[in-house]
Amino acid sequence: MKLERLISIIMILLDKERISAQQLADRFEVSLRTIYRDIDAINMAGIPIRSTSGVGGGFEIMPNYKMDNKVFSSTDLSAILMGLSNVSNMLPGDDLINTLAKVKSFIPADRAKEIELKANQLWIDLSPWMGNRDIHLHLEMIKAALQERKLLSFSYADRYQNKTTRSAEPYQLVLKSGHWYFQGYCLKRNDFRLFRLSRLSDLQIQEDIFMPRDYQKPQLDFTDMLATMQTRITLRIHQSIMEWVLEHCTYEHFSPDGDAHYIVKFPFIENDYYYNILFSFGHQCECIEPVHIREEIKRRIHDLAIIYDS
């Protein structure tokens, strides 16, 4: 978002003596034109930035400038604190704590209570009720490797628990659907890969420093692809599991069936993942059609029953 980028640029300029437009464009993955517009916006906000040309040139805040705590409105400061607080909650570290302290120094005493109330109106906590300490340790190690551009080595288990030893150049931490991943260039596969942190073990930071290569962002939106792969099956569910079913489809696919049940047009792909979703709904869910999926569910239930009968 533009506001977040502007605040980040201000923080960088406060922390550095000078930085080039190209360095800023590379860091935020935007065009040079966007960076020049951002600098103009910061100037208009009352923070004097000067530019120098030639070798070693760039942008810098005018010497002896003191940040005016009225530059940011209460809404601006609340939004910044809300975002930084939630990010620091999900991704703890001294760098975020220091940034939070800097932002709080802009808050005038007479507006502190109002801004704190607004900042606390949203709290995001994606950690499980029973925390996994390994994930937090892995996050800190991967953050350090990202900053120092050092190789990571680890054992990695696929969905079938087949383990392989990997070395990878880390490029990005990703939080997707409540799970942490890191995007890295895998030296074993000679390609970019998205590694799920819960499948890592024996994670180590190597002493080898790598030269960053052209980075390929991971594909994180499969909406269009899934739309071509999914079909709609008909389920009959009890109202007690409605909130769990709504994690996979919307209200428009529900129609009442008596006082306590619904008929649901449920998005489905014929693989283990989707069959396991149906089983997670337990006896409060029945597949009505198509017949071949209903028969496959019966077969899987039969195979499960045999295990317990024996």
Q: Which CATH number fits domain 2-61: 3.30.10.20, 3.80.30.20, 3.40.710.10, 1.10.10.10?
A: 1.10.10.10
The more confident residue out of 287 and 42 is 287
Rounded-to-integer distance, Cα 34 and Cα 37, Å: 5
Which position has the token pair 């892995």? 138
Domain borders along the chain are 2-61, 74-119, 133-209, 224-309
Confidence of residue 300 (pLDDT cuts 50, 70, 90): very high
pLDDT of residue 278: 96
Pairing of strands 49-52, 179-186: unpaired
The more confident residue out of 309 and 78 is 309
Beta bridge partners of 256: 262
pLDDT of residue 119: 72
Tens digits of residue pLDDT in 14-55: 766 688 888 888 888 888 888 888 888 888 777 788 888 877
Write the CB contacts of 205 (distance below 8 Å, at least 6 apart in sequence): 141, 144, 145, 148, 150, 151, 152
83-92, 129-138, 203-212, 288-297, range with the lowest pLDDT? 83-92
Mean pLDDT score across all residues of the chain:
82
pLDDT of residue 15: 67
pLDDT of residue 126: 62
Rounded-to-integer distance, Cα 254 and Cα 235, Å: 10
pTM for the full predicted model: 0.53
Rounded-to-integer distance, Cα 121 and Cα 244, Å: 26
Rounded-to-integer distance, Cα 200 and Cα 154, Å: 6
42 neighbors 80 (Cβ within 8 angstroms): no
What mean pLDDT comes out for the span 202-221? Answer: 84
Residue type, 35: I
Write the CB contacts of 234 (distance below 8 Å, at least 6 apart in sequence): 263, 264, 265, 266, 287, 288, 289, 290
Q: Which CATH number fits domain 133-209: 2.30.30, 1.20.1070, 1.10.10, 1.10.260?
A: 2.30.30
The more confident residue out of 64 and 49 is 49
Cis amide prior to 290 (ω within 30 degrees): yes
276 class by beta-carbon count within 10 Å (0-12 exposed, 13-18 middle, 19+ buried): exposed
127-136, 144-153, 264-273, range with the lowest pLDDT? 127-136
**pLDDT above 70: percentage of residues in the chain:** 77
Which position has the token pair 């999900």? 90
Q: Is the pLDDT of residue 203 over 90?
A: yes
Which SS3 state, helix, strand or coil, does residue 89 take? helix
97-111, 126-140, 256-270, range with the lowest pLDDT? 97-111
Tens digits of residue pLDDT in 75-95: 776 777 776 665 655 565 656
62-76, 151-165, 270-284, range with the lowest pLDDT? 62-76
**Two structure tokens written together for 24:** 């800023």
Q: Is the pLDDT of residue 170 over 90?
A: yes
* Nearest CA-CA partner of 71 in 34, 108, 37: 108
pLDDT of residue 280: 94
pLDDT of residue 236: 97
pLDDT of residue 92: 58
Which position has the token pair 């337990």? 282
* Nearest CA-CA partner of 157 in 168, 149, 165: 165
What mean pLDDT comes out for the span 140-161? Answer: 89
Pairing of strands 163-176, 150-157: antiparallel
Residue type, 255: S
Beta bridge partners of 61: 49
Tens digits of residue pLDDT in 98-117: 666 666 666 666 777 777 77
pLDDT of residue 6: 79
**pLDDT above 90: percentage of residues in the chain:** 36
pLDDT of residue 283: 94
pLDDT of residue 239: 94
